[in-house]
Amino acid sequence: MTLTPEQSARYSRHLILPEVGPAGQRKLLDSSVLLIGAGGLGSPLGLYLAAAGVGRIGIVDFDSVEASNLQR
């Protein structure tokens, strides 16, 4: 798999890092993560995983939406 021009532009900062590079970014795009909990730690973690280029992110949270927990 090669990166599309759009992906190359989006992940250009990752591609110049020797620790990541094009091969590492392709591995991230092919990876999957299951995020258990979307609360105080899980919510920002999901954003960071998406920004890093993780290909598939599943989110599981057993809390139900109620008026008393909308601020979280």
CA angle 12, 1, 56 (to 5 degrees): 75
What are the residue ranges of helices labelled H in the chain?
A: 5-10, 12-15, 21-30, 42-52
Q: How many helices (H) and strands (E) does the chain have?
A: 4, 2
CA angle 46, 52, 57 (to 5 degrees): 40
Confidence of residue 64 (pLDDT cuts 50, 70, 90): confident
pTM of the model: 0.76
pLDDT digits (tens, 9 = 90+) for 2-49: 899 999 999 999 999 999 999 999 999 999 999 998 888 888 999 999
